[in-house]
Amino acid sequence: MTLCILGDAGSTFVVNFLARMAQHFDKTSFDVLSPRTSNAKFPKNVNQRILIERNSMVARIPKVRGAWALIQKHKYITKAEPYDLCHVHFVDKQSALLSRVLNLQCRRIVCSVWGSDFYRSPQKIRRLQERLYGVSDIITFTNKKSLIEFDSYYSKKYSNKLRICRFGLAPLEVLRKLELNKMGCRKHLGLPEDSIIVTVGYNNSPGQQHIEILKSIKKRRKEIPENLFFILPMTYGATNEYRNTVRKYVEQHSLRYKIFDRFMPDEEMAMLRRASDIMIQVQITDQFSGSMQEHLYSENVVITGDWLPYGTLDEKGIFMLKVSSVEEVGEKLVYALNNLDSLKEKCKKNPEIIWELSSWEKNIQSWIDMYEELLHRGR
């Protein structure tokens, strides 16, 4: 059997998903059609088909890159032997435009909605995405709220195709085995050992609302201790220009900070979580933030938005602080700082809940069951 994976081989979610699925389906060949390569060590049955070279002239021009990738994917799928299953990770414009050839060349189709591909897509793109939803056998989501909102938007047209399947979080496994304590992690990462460390967001996207968060905190500056230190993980997403805008803001307002702007392996990401005390996660939209869950696993106090679809975490008894708008972040941070010890005590129940909910150990079977169901289902 041969399976086609349409997704970004540079994504940690895709990498870890593939590593586990390919290991289970060891007699199945996986073709990964990706715009960039991965340095990950995949099992031998995973074949990376990189359609745009990172340093090519084409890769430097966004619009040309997108068109070229679409053409190359279409050509490759057309010429390939028919696939037993195609799995689209992140339903973007390109994958929607490939719906016809995928339907012709793939016996079964799964598409996984990651979040922003639904929430941040304008109506025009959502209509285009329907081409793929229409030919898909199963459409997956990571949480119930997103599934319900998707189902409602499309007037329950695809209800019988919708399913919740969660990605596991590889850093949880690293965190579980990590021997360094909080101070040891800070020392390794070059962070101050005598500070209260607050992590703001988890990527370099304007959707994380970095500036709005910092403005809200600045309004309560007089109530904030001098040993506060901000971490801004900005290793992927958006542009250098946006990152520099955030950097300029924190420097103008004399905030103590460190921006992480280069790729970090899983172990260093785990250290970053453990090194923190508080995490602020109030992005505009989300499905089921893995980075936030890693902070919860690390017993950090998390401040998040009540508009984000974290009902599953609430139902499981996860302790978090919530705000109704980004403007409330400063006030909530002051509250957290004034009550840090008692709040951290409440966070001690979070690690095992997150492990049960989001480790690969607890989630991979749902993906395996779905694949086996489709591969044995007649068309």
Mean predicted confidence (pLDDT) in 209-233? 96
Pairing type for strands 2-6 and 29-34 reads parallel
Closest CA to 296 of 315, 284, 313: 313
| Percent of the chain residues past pLDDT 90, beyond the cut | 79
Q: Which of 38-42, 218-222, 287-291 has the lowest mean pLDDT?
A: 38-42
Check whether 39 has a pLDDT greater than 80: no
In the structure, what pLDDT confidence band is assigned to residue 64 with cuts at 50, 70 and 90? low
- Average pLDDT of the residues of the chain: 92
Mean predicted confidence (pLDDT) in 295-320? 95
In the structure, what pLDDT confidence band is assigned to residue 48 with cuts at 50, 70 and 90? confident
Check whether 214 has a pLDDT greater than 90: yes
Task: Output 60 or 253, whichever has higher pLDDT.
Answer: 253
Single pTM value for the model: 0.78
- Rounded-to-5 percentages of helix, strand, coil across the chain: 50, 15, 35
Task: Report how far residue 156's alpha carbon sits from residue 276's, in angstroms, rounded to the nearest whole number.
Answer: 42
N- to C-terminal Cα distance for the chain? 15
Check whether 59 has a pLDDT greater than 60: no
CATH class of 2-168+360-375: alpha beta
What token pair was written down for 238? 């958006």
Burial class (CB in 10 A: 0-12, 13-18, 19+), 247: middle
What token pair was written down for 348? 């001690």
* CATH number for the domain running over 170-358: 3.40.50.2000
pLDDT for 63 equals 64
Phi, psi dihedrals of residue 311, rounded to the nearest 5°: -60, -35
Task: Report how far residue 214's alpha carbon sits from residue 219's, in angstroms, rounded to the nearest whole number.
Answer: 9
Q: How far is CA 255 from CA 128, 167, 183, 199, in A?
A: 44, 35, 21, 13
Domain boundaries, the chain: 2-168+360-375, 170-358
Check whether 13 has a pLDDT greater than 90: no
Question: Do 170-358 and 2-168+360-375 fall under one CATH topology?
Answer: yes
